[in-house]
Amino acid sequence: MGGGGRGEQEAIVDVGSAAEAIASGEETDTPLHQIESLCMRCGENGITRILLTRIPHFREVVLMAFECANCNERNSEVQFAGVIQPQGCRYQLKVAAGEPKILDRQVVKSDSASIRIPELDFEIPPEAQRGTLSTVEGILLRAINELEALQDERKKVDPETAEALDMFLTKLKSLAAGEGSFTFILDDPAGNSFIENPCAPSADPLLTITFYDRTPEQQASLGFLVDSSSSGNTESSGSEVLPEKSRYVPAGTKREPHGSIGATAGHRAIAQGTSEEVAAALFKYSAPEEVMAFPSTCGACASRCETRMYVTKIPYFQEVIVMASTCDTCGYRNSELKPGGAIPDRGKRITVRIQNAADVCRDVIKSDTASVRVPEVDLELASGTLGGLVTTVEGLLTKIQGNLERVHGFTLGDSIDEGKKNKWQEFNARLNKLLKVEEPWTLIIDDALANSFVAPATELIEDDHQLTFEEYERSWEQNEELGLNDMDTASADAAYDA
């Protein structure tokens, strides 16, 4: 196996080789630093080499490699020079038996990431392995080596535990050798970890990526200042504290009625939540009757902040709820669009044919349950990717383009495969051609909850022949994913009927 044979250290660094590759390229002139540092094995001084660089499929990192000429001790480490991401990430890779190429996939594990294999009830906590650039096989082999390190001493002190551990190591070694199927889960609250997708930009059937909001405990573990009183539901004074996405309005809510301050105040309130695009797009249809503000919790630092909310109706669509939050403590801003009203009985598929520059200026509402597809470039985004957006066709495509570069960084780094680099440069050029509308193309938004919308280019939606809406029955799997199969409203219906 390629990854396991080299081992985890060689997969990361010979930092000197990385420095030579950087120096010979044109992208950066980042210097290689060498400092004397104490060897923890022999007590003599060794050399630590430090290099700030960017690696393929990822972002800025600091590579460090220590070598002692006296006892030949060597070790390496990866630390992240970039920022902590707004959300945590969870990668779930299905590894099939007899598929060695899956074990060779690159894995970037940050200091805050944990690794789990549910089939063995096995977990590698963040503190057990430092930040590394390795492979799936390399990480498993490192875990095996560390578990075997004290087995001889353990057999003398606790034979039963040692015997159970030997049985476990046998199972783990079989997985590392590709002799069994298992699920490899990489969970990083900092959002700075990654598992390679060789099928990119197409979806990988073996890899599932989930982004999530961090809990207060995870915020604290990353070094954020967490307000202890925000973890409960009440303050010491007894006033109510609502979570950021709460839909309820507590006592003391400030109301800014439309008329006394007018739509300008609503526009300003939403714009303060990084939603100028939201306000500009939605205020063309109708101004909010009132903008409500209520206390909330920052999604980045868990400090108290304020969330502004208003309800508006979009023609040919439905009632929607716009929410925006701003944190004065850390500067984090967030805006989101949520549908109002009942859950539709059928899903909706929207197809728009882009033929000229005016078509890329169409307003688009993409809910957080919608998938996006562009058949002409084999581009497909799974349901939930990018979250809910209020933008234009051009803005949606630009957002996709930027997100692909942020998550994967395929054109970055000194050691990237030339074939992959050319592939992604060609794909990026094709996306740019779509933005310039050099030839007609098709945008398909499929939303199982029918909460997405593309604005017509004509006064009457029936006259827009480039835009089609298709309703369909949701499958059992779609209802299960949305949690609708287990939803029981019989008691509520009985209460209303009474």
Domain ranges of the chain: 2-80, 88-218, 224-339, 347-482
Mean pLDDT of 120-147: 87
Average pLDDT, the chain: 75
Reported as a pLDDT band with limits 50, 70 and 90, residue 440 is: very high
What pLDDT does residue 2 have? Answer: 38
CATH 2.60.40.10 fits 347-482, yes or no: no
Res. 235: pLDDT tops 50: no
Mean pLDDT of 421-429: 81
CATH class entry, domain 224-339: mainly beta
Give dist(CA 144, CA 165) in Å, integer.
Answer: 10
Give dist(CA 385, CA 371) in Å, integer.
Answer: 7
What pLDDT does residue 222 have? Answer: 81
Res. 30: pLDDT tops 70: no
What pLDDT does residue 373 have? Answer: 92
Res. 186: pLDDT tops 90: yes
Task: Determine contact, residues 453/96, Cβ cutoff 8 Å.
Answer: no
Res. 124: pLDDT tops 70: yes
Q: In which residue are the tokens 């503000």 written?
A: 293
Reported as a pLDDT band with limits 50, 70 and 90, residue 330 is: confident
What pLDDT does residue 123 have? Answer: 92
Distances (CA, A) of 433 to 167, 238, 380: 57, 57, 17
Tokens standing for residue 487: 């939803």
Task: Determine contact, residues 380/199, Cβ cutoff 8 Å.
Answer: no
Residue 63: closest CA among 46, 79, 39 = 79
What pLDDT does residue 466 have? Answer: 93
Evaluate whether 224-339 and 347-482 have a shared fold: no
Is pTM beyond 0.75 here? Answer: no
Tokens standing for residue 389: 């957006």
Question: Can you list the positions of beta strands (E) in 160-206?
Answer: 182-188, 194-195
Task: Determine contact, residues 366/452, Cβ cutoff 8 Å.
Answer: yes
Sign of the C-alpha dihedral, residues 170, 172, 178, 179?
A: positive
Beta strands across the sheet bearing 182-188: 122-124, 114-117, 182-188, 88-95, 207-212
User: How many angstroms separate the first and last alpha carbons of the chain?
Assistant: 68
Mean pLDDT of 422-439: 86
Residue 299: closest CA among 330, 257, 264 = 330
User: Which residues are paired to 210 by β-bridges?
Assistant: 90
CATH 2.20.25.420 fits 2-80, yes or no: yes
Q: How confident is the model over 359-373, as pLDDT tens digits?
A: 999 988 888 888 899
**From the candidate CATH numbers 2.60.120.1040, 2.70.98.10, 1.20.190.20, 3.10.20.30, the one assigned to the domain spanning 88-218:** 2.60.120.1040
Res. 26: pLDDT tops 50: no
Tokens standing for residue 39: 């060897």
Give the contacts of 277 (CB within 8 A, at least 6 positions apart): 390, 391, 395
Give dist(CA 417, CA 196) in Å, integer.
Answer: 13
Mean pLDDT of 408-419: 56
Residue 301: closest CA among 59, 38, 86, 12 = 86
Q: How confident is the model over 52-97, as pLDDT tens digits?
A: 776 554 556 777 888 999 998 888 777 766 667 778 889 999 999 8
